[in-house]
Structure 1
């Protein structure tokens, strides 16, 4: 199966190819803001130089001014090209959709494609990691344009299945990385939150940056069910018949508590937590996040 055929016919008619849609999103973003959303990820202080009209005042070194009564700005330079890893959760629950066009897994692939294009556009190497209970495949980071279809063709032949242990996979990933990297995770995070956070702290300790894209289906977020409904745990194959109306309030409270806990824990770890649901177009959701990040670090 090719990367193009992976997309559903409706999506193919809309954009022809996934990488073209990714290109459209990224070029639109860059032309609108004229800056990378990952600015500030991998820079270090280089030296001072005298202030020139037009320099950004936020780069002014006021400590030097206080000592010398002269205006100097700080110069920064990139340590290295930023290396990115797209981490895709392959667990069975990622294959779920209630009535949306894309499953959570497909939604994640669309997000990953756009971010891969963005990094390659910036000439930053990007690679792919797929995992469920452990890491299943690794495509080493490259910045060549051919890297995007290489990654998409791998994803095109995958079907989410089995159980997940994202925390174990993240611990495994931490042992594989040799330089500071940007880790972008695409998952529904239906796993042990405490163990997951331990693994993310392990990645943060040596300086890796993390963006956690928490992808839930519209039905998981809004619970549009009524009456007696049979629910199935796709990873454990357990089935339960429950009164949807009677449990809606408790369920929505639990989901909100789940997201709030993740948001707070990620905030303490300086991790970008990005909640998403599949009823919002992935392009709109991603652009909103990129704009917020660019403004925060720009």
Structure 2
């Protein structure tokens, strides 16, 4: 089975247990990484940095020199470890799916579970916060193997319901963090962007690295509807009947502008923005995480 097949959401849906889903995603991803000379090098030397004057020559990794013709030294553990927080949006809108196997919430949960495995494999402490209108649960970060089971157990019992206040919740999170951390936010961001962007900036100004995983349903990105369609707003219950064919162009312009505005604002603030939809394989998000971790380490 190819690594690409491991990473498809419809394949993941066939596995009922979250721990097995997460391992499946990570296994496929790592197979894909090792199949690529570029990524293989990146992973192999993620714990290295270039030799600089003042470093002890005894710390030079001669195997790395033989492969690259450059001098590298092994990083000390304190230089490489980063504390991670998974921040999970529990709003009712995350439960939406049109024709995909996984809801937005299922997709985000699988991705968060896989990232938990990756962080623990790298001996990085990782914790979890969940939020609706405010933070509802907080699990402190740990790097022990038992933390995988603790986080996956929590994730598998979460249910998306009610309204959300992403901006307020992220400001709460910023106030909780005592040390520079990597904050991984999972949300569909279906709310007023301004308070969210302000809160993300606050996290960055606090010295934290942020990856924003913007998870939408495939139908929310591609609008595959025709004729008269009755839509319901999941958090308020408001209903609206529209002519889908007449509305499509305007809708697609709006959703593309919405995502682009987040991309631009995140870029300005040094935040990694990862636009995803539930039809996409998981490796894009995992690659983004590892690239960010290497960059910030």
What TM bracket, shorter-length normalisation?
Answer: 0.7 to 0.9
Report the CA distance between 1:37 and its aligned residue. 10
Q: Which residue of 2 aligns with 1:251?
A: 251
Which has the larger share of helix?
A: 2
Shift of 1:149: 2.1
SS of the residue corresponding to residue 255 of structure 1 reads helix
Structure 2 counterpart of 1:226: 226
Structure 1, unaligned runs of 5 or more = 1-6, 60-72
| Aligned residue runs from structure 1 range 242-281, under 5 A | 242-281=242-281
Counterpart Cα distance in 2 of 1:112 and 1:92: 18
Q: Which moved more, 1:78-87 or 1:50-59?
A: 50-59
Listed one character per residue, the Cα deviations across residues 61-101 of structure 1 (whole Å, up to 9, x for unaligned) are xxxxxxxxxxxx89865447310000110000000000000
Tell whether 2:214 aligns with 1:211: no
Between structure 1 and structure 2, the one with the greater Rg is 1
Q: Is the 8 A contact 1:135 1:169 kept in 2?
A: yes
Q: TM-score, normalised by structure 2?
A: 0.81
Contact 2:87 2:128 in 1 (8 A): yes
With structure 1 as the length reference, what TM-score do the two structures score?
A: 0.81
The question of 1:122 aligning with 2:122 is answered yes
Quick one: structure 1 residues 294 and 158, their matched pair in 2 at CA, closer, same or farther if it must change by over 3 Å?
Answer: closer
Q: Is the 8 A contact 1:84 1:141 kept in 2?
A: yes
| Cα distance in 2 for residues equivalent to 1:127 and 1:201 | 21
| Residue equivalent to 1:28 | 31
- Match for residue 177 of structure 1? 177
**Alpha-carbon separation, structure 2, partners of 1:139 and 1:267:** 29
Q: Secondary structure at the match of 1:17?
A: helix
Q: Secondary structure at the match of 2:15?
A: helix
Shift of 1:144: 1.5
The residue aligned with 1:197 is 197
Question: Retained in 1: the 8 A contact 2:19–2:113?
Answer: no
- Relative to structure 1, the CA distance from residue 182 to residue 131 in structure 2 (aligned partners, 3 Å threshold; closer, same or farther) is same
Q: Is the 8 A contact 2:211 2:289 kept in 1?
A: no
Matches within 5 A, 1:71-90: 77=76, 78-79=78-79, 81-90=81-90
State whether residues 135 and 172 of structure 1, in contact with CA within 8 Å, keep that contact through their aligned partners in structure 2. Answer: yes
What secondary structure is seen at the aligned counterpart in 1 of 2:190? Answer: coil
Find the counterpart in structure 1 of residue 187 from structure 2: 187
Equivalent position of 1:134 in the other structure: 134
The answer to whether the Cα contact below 8 Å between 2:18 and 2:110 also exists between their aligned partners in 1 is no
Structure 2 counterparts to residues 7-18 of structure 1, below 5 A: 10-12=13-15, 17-18=20-21
In structure 2, list runs of 5 or more residues that go unmatched: 1-9
| d(CA) in 1 for partners of 2:191, 2:277 | 17
CA contact (8 A) 1:39 1:297 kept: no
**Count of matched residue pairs:** 276
